[in-house]
Structure 1
Amino acid sequence: MYKQKKTIANSNWIKILGGIFFQISFISTFSQDRLTKEDSTLPASQRNGKITAQWYDRAVFSGKGDGPQKENVLWYRTSAKVWEEALPIGNGKLGAMIFGGVTDERIQLNESTLWDGFAQDASNPNALKALPEVRRLLFENKNNEAVELAGKTMMGNPSRIKPYQSLGELWFDMPLANAENYVRSLDLSTAIATVQYRLKDATYTRESFADAASNVMVVRFTASNKGSIGFNLRLRRAKDANCVPVADDNQALLLSGQVSVKDSTGKQRGVRFAAEVKAVAEGGTVEVKDGVLSVHEATSVTLYITAATNYPGLLQLAKGVQTSNIDPEKECNKTLRKAITVPYAQLKSQHIKDYQRYFNRVAINLGKVADTLKTLSTDERLAQARVNGKADNDLIATYFQYGRYLLISSSQPGGMPANLQGLWAWQMNPPWNADFHTNINVQMNYWPAEITNLSEMHLPLFDLSNALVKPGEKTARTEYGARGWVVHHLTDAWGFTAPADGPQGIWPMGAAWLAQDPWEHYCFTGDRKFLSSTAYPLMKGAALFMLDFLVKAPEGTACAGKLVTNPSYSPENEFVLPNGKVSVFTYGATMDLEIIHDLLTHCIEASKILNVDADFRKQCTETLQQLAPIRISKTTGRIMEWAEDYKETDPHHRHTSHLFGLYPGNQITVNGTPELAEAARKTLEARGDNGTGWSLAWKINMWNRLQDGDHAYKLLSVLLTTKTLPNLFDNHPPFQIDGNFGAAAAIAEMFLQSQQQTTNGSYVVQLLPALPHAFETGAVKGLGTRGGFVVDMEWANGKLVTATFTSKLGGELNVQLGDKTVKFSTMKGESVRLDGELKKVTSQN
C-alpha cells in the first residue's frame, strides 16, 4: 500500500479515536470518521438522516444465547456496534454487511461495479522524451534528481484514480425490545447469516443470503407468534441518489442516481445506478409512505433486494467499449419481478446448492475442540487468543474457511475481481479507494484460489487483466516506446494503467506480476485452451514490454553489463544514499528482476507446450541469461533489495518485495538454491515478526517456503491476535481483505506444496512441508496441486497417516514426504492412496 496514504490513515486514527485503545475496542479509523452525536434513544427513522459509522441499536440484551454447535460458524451474543463487527454476505456482485440489530437494524449494501470515475487515457506524452535522462541520472547515482525529473514528466494525467463506493444502506427501526438469548451468526457452510432471539413469549428469526443465480439478496423475518412482525424501513445513500416509491407497487422502494463526476468538457460521466427493495409479507400489511416502507402485524416478511449499474463490464472494456445502454432501474425491476415468483424455500435451497458446489470441495480439521471453547462466541475466542498469544486450532480452521468464503462471495465468474476490501466498503471514499493495488494486494487476493480448490473464482482477475491490455499498450507506447502492455502500481474498474500517486508510482511491473496468475491457473487446471486463448497472450504481452524496457547497466555500476530495469522502485520502501539523503528511485531493484525471471521462464515453458513463437522464446532465453542476478549483501548476508547495498530507512518495512522469488515466485528454494534460501531466512528475521495484516500473511507464506512451520505459525498467531477484527476481517489497519486471503493460502501451504519440478517438468507434491507442532494431529480434504491433483490427507503426532491423490488430468504423480520421494503414473480420474511410508494402499488392504 502507498506509504503516504498509510500515514494519513494513521493520522486520522489518532485524531478520530482520541486515544481509544484499538486492541480493546477494535474500532478502526474509518469506522469513526463520520461519527455523529445523534440521540440513540430515537428510532432510525427519526434521526438526522445521515449515514453514520456508529449504529445505535436501542435493544437491551439479556440472557446468554447458545451459538450453533457446528463447525465453520461465526457467532456473537450482541448486535454489531460498528461496521467491522457486522457480518458479510455476497454473491460476487451484490454484497451486504449485516449488523443484526433488534430494535434498530442496519444493512450496508454494495454493488461490485459501482465505481467513481470513467474510462480515460492517462498516459503522459512527456515521459518518453524524459526517460533517457531519468535513466542517465540513476546510473550516475543522482537518484533524487531523477525522482524530481520523473515526477514532473512521467506521472499520469490525471495522477489519481477515483474510488469504489458504497451502494447505500437499509435502516430499520422496530419496537423497543429486551432481546433474550440473542445470537447472530454466519454459517460459512451455507453462506447464510442468521439473527435469533426471544422477545416475551415469541422467538424471532432473521435469515439473510445473497443468491448468485437470481442476483438477489434475501432477508427473511419470521416469528413463532402470528402477526408479531413490524418495522419501518428506509433505503438511502450518502450522496448522488434519491429514494422513491416504485411505480405501481406500494410495497417497494427504489434508490437511483448517478455518481457525480465530470470530464474536462463538463459532461457528466459517472455511473448510473439503482437499488430496489421489495417486501412480501404473510399476514399483516405493507405500505410505502413518505419514503418509508412499513410492515405491520405480519407473521413473516421476505425482503428481496437487488441492484444494477450501467457499467459496461470488463469483457466490453477489453474490446474497447466504454459505455453501456443498460437502464439500472429497469434491470432491478426485472430481476425482482422474477425472483419473487420463486418460493422462499426453493430460493434458499438453490442458493445453498450453488454455493456448496464450491465451498464443500475442501474440509479441514485441526484436532478436537474443547467443550469450553464451544460455548465461546467468536469475539470471545478472539479475546482469549489475545490473552494466550495464540488462537485455538478450531478458530484457525474457521479462519481458513472464512478466507474461502470471502473469495466465493466477492469474486464470481463473469463479475468483478475482489478489490482491496473484497466486495464490502461502506464509504464514498474508502481507504486507498478500495482499488486494485497491483504491487501485491490484488495478487494476494487470489493466492488461495487454486490451492483451496476455487479455480473458478480466479477468472475475474483474468477478465480485469484483459481489460487492461488495450490501455496498457497505449501507456507502454506513449511513456516507454515499448511493445506489449504495462500497468503500474494500481488500477481501477476503468483500465487505469499510468503512473499514479507520485514518483513512487512509476513502477511498471504490475502487468508482469498479474501475468503470473493465469500461468498458475493453467498449472493447477491443465486447461490448454485457457493457456492458448488467455494465459499465454497476457504473459507474452507483459513479456514484450519487459524485453523492450530492460537496459544494459553501464560500466562503473553495480550490475555493469547486465540487463536491469531503469527507473526502478522496490514497493513501497525507501533507502539512504551515501550522501545521507533518502530516496525511492534506483535501477535494478531485486523484485523487478525476480518478477521478470518468473515471467520469462513461464513464457518459455508455455511457448513450448503450445509449440509457438520459437523466435520469441529464443529472445526470452537470451534475456534471462543476461538478466542481473539476485545478490546477497556481503555485510548482512541478506538478499539485497536494490542494486546497490543501500541502508534501509525502515528495517522492519511492511513490504518484503525482494523476496518475491521465494513467494509467490519459485526462484529461491531450500533444496535448489540453499545459499539464497539462507539469505532469505536472514532477511525475514531482520524484517521482524510484526507488520500490517497483509504483510504478516505474506511473511507466513515465505516461512512456509523455507519449511519452517513453527515460525509460520508464530506469525499466524500474531496476525490473529493483533490484526484481526471482531468479524475476522483482516486489519491493515484499517480493514483490507488481502490479509484474509493471504493467510488462507498460507494455512494450506503448511500442509501441501507443489511448486517444485522434476527434470522432466512434472510437479512434486510435498506433503506436510511446513507442519507446525501446534497442528500435531489433523486432516484436510480437497486441496489442489499443480499438475492437477486433488489431495486428501490425515496425520497424527506430526506424522502422515494416509494421503489420497485424485488425478484430474492423468500423468505423472511425484510425492515427497521429508527426504523420501515416490513416483506413480496415473490415469484421468484415478485415485492413488498412500500410507504414512508413501507405500501404495491397494483396495484389498
Structure 2
Amino acid sequence: MNVRTALILCLAYLINQVNALAQTDQLLKFKAPAKHFTESSPVGNGRLGAMDFGGVNKGRIVLNEISMWSGGVEDPNRPGAYKYLPQIQQLLAAGRNREAQDMLQQQFTSAGKGSGQGNGANEKYGSYQVFADLLIDWKDTTGNLESYSRSLDLKTAMATTTWTRSGVKYTQEVMTSAPDQVVAVRIQASKPGLLNLSIGLSRAANATIAAGGNALSVDGQLPAGDGDQGIRFSGRVRILPVGGQMKAAGNRQVITGATGVVILITMATDLNWPQVALRGADPAVTTDRQVNAAAGKSWERLVAAQRADHQSYYNRCSLQFTGVQHNDIGQLSTSERLERYAMGKPDVTLPALYFNFGRYLLISSSRPGGLPANLQGLWADSYQTPWNGDYHLNINLQMNYWPAEATNLGALHQPLITFTKQLVEPGRQTARAYYNSSGWVAHMMSNPWKFTAPGEHASWGSTLSGGAWLCEHLWQHYLYNPNQKTLADIYPVLKGAARFYADILITDPKTGWLVTAPSNSPENAYRTEEGFSGQTTMGPTMDMQIGRELLGNTIAAANALKTDRAFADSLQRILGKLAPNQISKKTGGIQEWLRDYDEAEPQHRHVSHLYGLHPFDEITPQATPVLAAAARNTLLRRGDGGTGWSRAWKINFWARLGDGDHALQVFRALLAPAASGSGISMRHGAGTYANLFCAHPPFQIDGNFGGTAAIAEMLLQSHGKDNVIRLLPALPRAAEWAAGTVRGMRAAGGFELNFNWRSSRIESATLISLAGTTCRLEMPEGKQLYGPNGKPVAVNRSGNIVSFQTLKGARYQLR
C-alpha cells in the first residue's frame, strides 16, 4: 500500500468516525433483530404506530391505532354513595380509619367491576390493545448473513434495517406519515429480481383477514363487556412491487422476482372521539380512501411530506452537549451504550439522545385532535395491555405531558387539554353520586369512555385529585402561552374542579384546618399507633398541595378575566384554612399524611407529598428554604431506586432543589439497562430497555417523558410565583455536562430561549418574547442584557433578579 492510498483510507476512516459520532444524539442503533418489542424501532404519527423488529428471515412489524380500545360507555357510579359520605368522614375525624376504609370499600367504590383489577379487556372498562401484526416471510434464507444494521433516526422518524446475504444488500425502511395517515414500508434489493417474500396480517381475535388483488385487509369488532359489541375496526394494506410477480395465497400475498416493494398500511376504528356515545365514520370506508390516496403517490413524495411534518415539531428545540467527546461510542449499539453508561463510563451524547427520544415519542403519540398518549404512548403488542394501557391520573398521564411546554411542543398538549374538558360532564355525575357536589371530579384512572368514578378498591381507587391535577396542565399551558382567549377557554374547567374541592372539605377537629375526606396518598400505606396499616385518610399532603394550587390558579384566572368576584373571594377565604405542609418529627421530611403516621414502606415508589416541590412550585429553595430542606430529607429517605417513572420524578425533584449532581446520579439509575422480554417482575428490572423505552417494569412511557422533562429542568427553570427564568439551575459538575447548546427551549410567560455555556457558565443567550409580557430573569454573573436595538436594557433589579417589560416578537441578548 502506497502512502497516498494509506492517507485516503485514513481520511475515510476519520470521516466515518466523525459521522458516526455526529449521529450519536439522533440515532438508536441495534446489531440484531428484536426479540421483544422493547428492542424494536417505534414510529408513530400521533394516531398510527408501528414497531419494526427488523427481522431478516421472519419480519414482524407491530401495528397500532390509538383508539383501538375494547369496552364502552358505562355508568360506573353508585347513585346513593353520597349518603355514606358523612359517616365515612365522621369515622376519619374520630381516628377510626379501619372502619372508614371498610365502609369505603363497601359503599364508595365504583359500581360493577371497575378496571377489572387492571385486566379489563373483556369488561366494560376495556383495554387498549394491539391492532395487528404485519408479517414478512423471506424465501431466501440460506446464504451467509453479513453486515446487519438497524437504526431509528429521530430527526427523520425513519426506521431502517440493512443486511447482506449472498452478495445482495437488502434495505427495509419503515415510517408513519401524519399527512397521508399511513404506515409505509419500503424493501429493496441491490440486484434486480432477487426479492422473494410473502406478506400477511395476523390478529388472534375478533378479526377477519383476507387477501386479494394487490391488497390485504383486516376487519373486526372488539368486545364491549356484558356481551355487547364495541368499536369496529378496519385495516387495509396495499402492496406495490417493483418488477416480479405477486399473487394471493390464502390470506397472504406472495412476491417473487421483484427488485423492491412498497407496503402501505392504513388503520381506523369508528370510535368518534370525543363524542364517544356516537358512532364515527365507517372504518372500512376511511381506510379504503386513505390507502387509495397514498398509493397514488411516489415513495419520495410520501417521505417528503412525512419528514416535513415531523420536523416541523422536532426542530423546534434542540440540545447538544459540546464538552468532552468520546470517539469510541460511534459504532456501539444503544444497548451497549446503556451497559457502558451503567459502568460509570462517560457518554457525552447519551443524555441528549434520551432527551431527543422523549420529544420524538411525544410527537409520535400525541397530535391535536386525537386521544392523549396512554400508559404506553400508542405502542402495544398485546390484547390485554398492562393496567389496560389506560390513563392513570395519580401521576402517569400527567407525566406524559411534562416535557410538552418546556421543550417547545405546546401544540401537542392539546389532546390532554381536550381530554380534561371531556371529563367535566361525567365528572359532574360522579361528584353528585359520591359527594353531593355541584363541581366535577375524576379519581385515579380513566379511559376513552370517560371513566371518572373511584376505582374498585379502596386502597388505591379513592384518590380524588385526578381531575384537579389535570387542571394543573391547563394552567401551565396558559402560563407558557399567556393570552385571554386561552384563559377564558380553560376557566370553566378550573372553576368546576375548584367548586368540587370547596364542597368536599371538612374541618379537622384536632387542628381546625380544612381537609379533604375521604382520600389517600396515591397507592401508599401508613401504619397507625394501633398497628392498622391502611390507605384511607383525610387531608393527605398531596391533596392539600393540589388544592392550594387549583384554588390559587382559579382565583388568578377569575381576577384576570374580571369575573366571578364573589366566587374568587370565597376561594380566597378557604385557601388560608387549608391544612399546611408539615415537617414530620419522626423523619425530618415533609409529612405525607395529616397525622404523623409511621411509613409502612419508607422507600415507596410514589413521593406524592412532594407535589408541592414538583410540579407545583410552593416549595422552593429560594422562597421556602426550611420546607426545601425537609423535601431533601424526604428524598434521601425514599432513596434513588423505584420504578422507571418514579426515578424520572426524582430527577425533577433534585433539579428543583438545584442539586444537579444528585439529579445526574438518579438519571444514571433511570438509564440502567433493563432486561427485555415478557414475564418481568414488577419489582425488578426498572430502568431502560434496549430501544430506550422506560421499564416500569414492564414498559411504561411516562418514565421517558418524565426523564426528558427532568433534563429540561436541569438546564432551564421558570417556575415560582414570580416565574423567574433561571439558566443552568441544576447543572451537574460532570465534565460531559460542562459545555453545551440549547435552541428553542420555552419558559413561562411566553418566552423562547437559545443559550450556550462553557466551563459550566453561561456564555450567551437569546430571549425571544412571544407574548410581550414582563420578564424576570436571574442574571448570570458578569453578563449584560441588550435589547433589540443593541442597547442595554433598563431593568428593575432585586439582588441578581432583574425584571423588564418586553416587546412582543422582540429578541433580547445576554452576553
TM-score (normalizing by structure 2): 0.90
Query: Which residue does the alignment assign to 1:782?
Result: 744
CA distance in 2, matches of 1:712, 1:353: 35
CA distance in 1, matches of 2:483, 2:176: 30
Q: Does 1:693 align with 2:647?
A: no
Query: Which residue does the alignment assign to 2:495?
Result: 540
Asked if the contact 1:789/1:807 (under 8 Å) is kept, the reply is yes
Asked if the contact 1:391/1:720 (under 8 Å) is kept, the reply is no
Query: Which residue does the alignment assign to 1:650?
Result: 601
Query: Which residue does the alignment assign to 1:284?
Result: 244
Q: Give the 3-state SS of the residue equivalent to 2:349 in structure 1.
A: helix
Aligned residues: 750
CA distance in 2, matches of 1:620, 1:202: 72
Query: Which residue does the alignment assign to 1:450?
Result: 405
Aligned to 2:151, which of 176, 185, 201? 185
Aligned to 1:632, which of 574, 583, 586? 583
Q: Does 1:371 align with 2:327?
A: yes
Amino acid at match of 2:147: N
CA distance in 1, matches of 2:386, 2:595: 34
Amino acid at match of 2:592: E
Aligned to 1:767, which of 715, 727, 731? 727
Amino acid at match of 2:382: Q
Q: Give the 3-state SS of the residue equivalent to 1:331 in structure 2.
A: helix
CA distance in 2, matches of 1:178, 1:370: 33
Asked if the contact 1:574/1:583 (under 8 Å) is kept, the reply is yes
Query: Which residue does the alignment assign to 1:33?
Result: none
Amino acid at match of 2:219: S
CA distance in 2, matches of 1:456, 1:728: 24
Query: Which residue does the alignment assign to 1:205?
Result: 171
Cα displacement (A) at 1:199: 2.0
1:726-770 CA-to-partner distances (Å, cap 9, x unmatched) read 000000111100000000000011110001243xxxx21111100
Cα displacement (A) at 1:69: 5.3
Q: Give the 3-state SS of the residue equivalent to 1:124 in structure 2.
A: coil
Amino acid at match of 1:206: Q
Cα displacement (A) at 1:817: 4.0
Query: Which residue does the alignment assign to 2:195?
Result: 229
After TM superposition, the structure 1 = structure 2 runs for residues 625-774 of structure 1, keeping only pairs within 5 Å, are 625-722=576-673, 723-758=687-722, 763-774=723-734
Aligned to 2:414, which of 440, 459, 472? 459
Q: Give the 3-state SS of the residue equivalent to 2:576 in structure 1.
A: helix
Cα displacement (A) at 1:811: 2.4
1:560-585 CA-to-partner distances (Å, cap 9, x unmatched) read 21110010200110011111121111
Cα displacement (A) at 1:411: 0.3
Asked if the contact 2:216/2:253 (under 8 Å) is kept, the reply is yes
Amino acid at match of 1:114: M
1:185-204 CA-to-partner distances (Å, cap 9, x unmatched) read 00000111111122222221
CA distance in 1, matches of 2:534, 2:804: 53
CA distance in 2, matches of 1:69, 1:391: 16
Cα displacement (A) at 1:391: 5.9
Q: Give the 3-state SS of the residue equivalent to 2:342 in structure 1.
A: helix
CA distance in 1, matches of 2:421, 2:280: 22
Aligned to 1:254, which of 204, 217, 240? 217
Query: Which residue does the alignment assign to 2:51?
Result: 97
Aligned to 1:170, which of 134, 137, 153? 134
Q: Does 1:794 align with 2:756?
A: yes
Query: Which residue does the alignment assign to 1:130?
Result: 84
Query: Which residue does the alignment assign to 1:475?
Result: 430
Query: Which residue does the alignment assign to 1:815?
Result: 777
Aligned to 1:572, which of 515, 518, 523? 523
1:2-24 CA-to-partner distances (Å, cap 9, x unmatched) read xxxxxxxxxxxxxxxxxxxxxxx
1:617-647 CA-to-partner distances (Å, cap 9, x unmatched) read 1111111011111111123221100011000
Cα displacement (A) at 1:306: 0.8
CA distance in 2, matches of 1:371, 1:329: 51
CA distance in 1, matches of 2:281, 2:243: 36
Query: Which residue does the alignment assign to 2:209?
Result: 243
Greater mean alpha carbon deviation, residues 172-181 or residues 614-623: 172-181
CA distance in 2, matches of 1:270, 1:463: 23
Q: Does 1:410 align with 2:365?
A: yes
Q: Give the 3-state SS of the residue equivalent to 2:672 in structure 1.
A: helix
List alignment gaps of at least 5 residues for structure 1.
1-63, 836-845
CA distance in 1, matches of 2:479, 2:648: 23
Cα displacement (A) at 1:205: 1.1
Q: Give the 3-state SS of the residue equivalent to 1:429 in structure 2.
A: coil
Asked if the contact 2:49/2:378 (under 8 Å) is kept, the reply is yes
Aligned to 1:155, which of 109, 118, 122? 109
Q: CA separation of 1:433/1:153 partners in 2, compared to 1, >3 Å: closer, same or farther?
A: same
Cα displacement (A) at 1:325: 4.4
Aligned to 2:341, which of 385, 400, 414? 385
Superposition RMSD in Å? 1.5
Q: Give the 3-state SS of the residue equivalent to 2:587 in structure 1.
A: coil
Amino acid at match of 2:810: E
After TM superposition, the structure 1 = structure 2 runs for residues 21-170 of structure 1, keeping only pairs within 5 Å, are 70=23, 71-158=25-112, 159-160=114-115, 161-170=125-134
After TM superposition, the structure 1 = structure 2 runs for residues 265-344 of structure 1, keeping only pairs within 5 Å, are 266=227, 268-314=228-274, 316-317=275-276, 322-344=277-299
1:195-216 CA-to-partner distances (Å, cap 9, x unmatched) read 1122222221111110011111
Amino acid at match of 2:555: I
Amino acid at match of 1:808: L
1:254-290 CA-to-partner distances (Å, cap 9, x unmatched) read 1111112344xx4x23111111111011111222220
CA distance in 1, matches of 2:346, 2:772: 39
1:419-455 CA-to-partner distances (Å, cap 9, x unmatched) read 0000101111111111000000000000000000000
Asked if the contact 1:236/1:242 (under 8 Å) is kept, the reply is no
Query: Which residue does the alignment assign to 1:397?
Result: 352
Amino acid at match of 2:63: L
Asked if the contact 1:724/1:731 (under 8 Å) is kept, the reply is yes
Asked if the contact 1:391/1:721 (under 8 Å) is kept, the reply is no
After TM superposition, the structure 1 = structure 2 runs for residues 515-534 of structure 1, keeping only pairs within 5 Å, are 515-533=471-489
**Percent of pairs with identical residues:** 42
Q: Does 1:220 align with 2:182?
A: no
Q: Give the 3-state SS of the residue equivalent to 1:515 in structure 2.
A: helix
Query: Which residue does the alignment assign to 1:833?
Result: 813
Asked if the contact 1:391/1:717 (under 8 Å) is kept, the reply is no
Query: Which residue does the alignment assign to 2:551?
Result: 600
Query: Which residue does the alignment assign to 1:609?
Result: 560
After TM superposition, the structure 1 = structure 2 runs for residues 489-568 of structure 1, keeping only pairs within 5 Å, are 489-503=444-458, 504-533=460-489, 535-554=490-509, 557=510, 560-568=511-519
CA distance in 1, matches of 2:613, 2:144: 55
Query: Which residue does the alignment assign to 2:383?
Result: 428
1:807-843 CA-to-partner distances (Å, cap 9, x unmatched) read 11112222114662233332111111102xxxxxxxx
Query: Which residue does the alignment assign to 2:122?
Result: none
Aligned to 1:620, which of 549, 571, 578? 571
Q: CA separation of 1:391/1:604 partners in 2, compared to 1, >3 Å: closer, same or farther?
A: farther
Asked if the contact 2:617/2:721 (under 8 Å) is kept, the reply is no
Q: Give the 3-state SS of the residue equivalent to 1:393 in structure 2.
A: coil
CA distance in 2, matches of 1:251, 1:663: 54
TM-score (normalizing by structure 1): 0.87
